[in-house]
Copies of this chain bind each other. A is one copy, B any other.
Amino acid sequence: MPVNLPEIESMELYPVAGVKLGWAQGHIKKANRKDVLVIELCEGASVAGVFTLNRFCAAPVTLCRQHLAGNKGIRALVVNTGCANAGTGEQGMLDAKKTCNAVAELLAIPQDAVLPFSTGVILENLPMDRLLAALPNAVNNLAEDNWKDAAYSIMTTDVAPKAVSEQLNIAGKQVVVTGISKGAGMIHPNMATMLGYLATDAGIEQSLLTEITKEIADLSFNCISVDGDTSTNDSFIIIASGQSEVQFNSREQAGFAELYQSLLASAQKLAQAIVRDGEGATKFMSVNVHGAKTMAEAKAVGFAIGKSPLVKTAFFASDPNLGRILAAIGYAARECDSLNDLDTNLIDLYLGDVLVADKGGLAKSYKEADGQNIMNRAEIDMTVKLNRGDVDVTIWTCDFSYEYVRINADYRS
C-alpha cells in the first residue's frame, strides 16, 4: 500500500478555468479501464514541459518537443497508458502523429497544437484502431471538473491515483493550482516513467513559464528515485490558462513568489506521491544532503543513497545497517567528479535526529536501539552533512521489497 499518500476520494480538486479533461476506455493493454485522456486548453494558455533525457526517447516525446518549439500555442494534450510507443522507430512517429491528427480534427485545432503522451510497455506498437476509436468518447466528456477521473486514467502500475490542488489568494484575487501525476516504477530523475500535469488559471508569460518549469522540475520530479531506472517517456507539463485575473510577465511582480511557491510545493507533492506509491514501497525516505559544494555533488550523494539496493533493502527490513549508507556516499564520486576529493573524515550522518556517525566513523553516543526506533517508522528522514560547502538538497526515495520484484517480474503478464 502507498505510504501516507493522501486518498484522492477525500480531496477536493478545484477546476482550473480554461482546462477541460475527458477520459475514455481504450482497452489499450487491459480491457475496461480508463486509459485514454484528452485535455483541452483555452486559447491563449501558456504551456511548458520538461522531458526525459533518455536517448531512447519515445516518439510522442520527440513530437511534444517539436510542437512546443513551434511556439504557436498548445490547445490540447492526449495521453494513453498501456503502451509507451517507444523503441518503435518510424511506425511509432507515424502513430504519434496520427493520434495528434485525430485529436486536432475532433477539436478543430491545428495538428501541431496537440501534445501527445504515451506510457506503458516499451517495444510494442500502439494499437491505433482501439486508440483512435476511444478519442471521440474522451472528447465527448470534456469538462473542467474531471480531474479525479483524469488522475485514474493515466495510471499504469500505480496502486492509487495522485493529485494535488489548492486555492491561493494573490493580491485579493483567487488563483487555483491543480495537478495530477502517475508513476511507480522506472522512476529516477531526468526523469522517470512518470507523467505530471500541473495547471493554474493564473496567466504566466510563455518564456517565464518555460524558465520556471525547468526550475520546478529540478527541485521536484528530478529529486525522486524508486529504482534508478529512467524511462523513455517521462514528461512534466505546467499549464497556465490565464483565465483568472492574475497575470504575470516577470518574477518581480507582486504575488509571483506566492504562485511560484505553490507550483513548486504542488510539484513536490506530486513527485513525492510517486515515491509513496513506489512499486512495493513500505517506507518513504527523505535523504537530506547538507554542505555540498555544488547541487551536482549534493544530488550525486543523495541519489547514491536513494538508489542503493542495499540501503533500500535494509530500510525494508527496518535494519539499522547504516554502514551501507556510508558505502553509498563513498561511491557517489562515480557520478560526480568533483567528489573525488571528498574527505570522509568530515562527514556526519543522522538518522532522524540520532547522530549515527561523526567525522566519518561510528559516533560514540550512538546506540543501536535509538537507530532501531527510527527505522521502525514508515516515514524516515536521514541527514548527511558533508561539511564542505553550503549547498543542500533533499532526495525522496522508498525502500525495496519483495513486492517490487513481484510487480516487475509480473508487469507484462
**Cβ-defined contact, B402 with A344, below 8 A:** no
Interchain nearest-CB distance for A175 vs B (Å): 37
Chain B residues near A91: list those with CB within 8 A.
Answer: 361
Residue of A307, A313, A316, A317 with highest tally of chain B CB at under 10 A: A313
Interface size on A, residues (CB 8 A): 74
Min distance, Cβ A119 to any Cβ of chain B, angstroms: 12
Q: Verify A326–B405 contact, CB threshold 8 A.
A: no
Please give, as numbers and ranges, the residues of chain B lying within 8 Å of A121 by CB-CB distance: 321, 323
Cross-chain contact A310 with B53 (CB below 8 angstroms)? no
Whether the pair A409, B316 counts as a contact (CB closer than 8 A) is yes
| Chain B residues, Cβ within 8 Å of A324 | 122, 186, 229
Flag if A405 contacts B331 (CB, 8 Å): no
Expressed in whole angstroms, the Cα–Cα distance for A186 and B84 within the complex equals 32
CB proximity of A359 to chain B, nearest CB, Å: 6
CB distance from A340 to the nearest CB of B (A): 8
A333 vs chain B, min Cβ distance (A): 6
Complex CA–CA separation, A313 to B186 (angstroms) = 12
Assess whether A117 is interfacial by the CB under 8 Å rule. no
Which of A2-10, A23-31, A54-62, A202-210 has 4 or more CB atoms under 8 Å from chain B? A54-62
Known: A54-B327, A87-B323, A123-B362. 12 other contacts (CB 8 A): A54-B330, A55-B331, A84-B323, A123-B322, A123-B326, A124-B362, A229-B310, A229-B331, A314-B409, A317-B410, A334-B335, A402-B405
Query: What are 7 A-B interface contacts by the 8 Å CB criterion?
Result: A86-B327, A87-B323, A89-B345, A89-B360, A92-B361, A123-B326, A228-B307
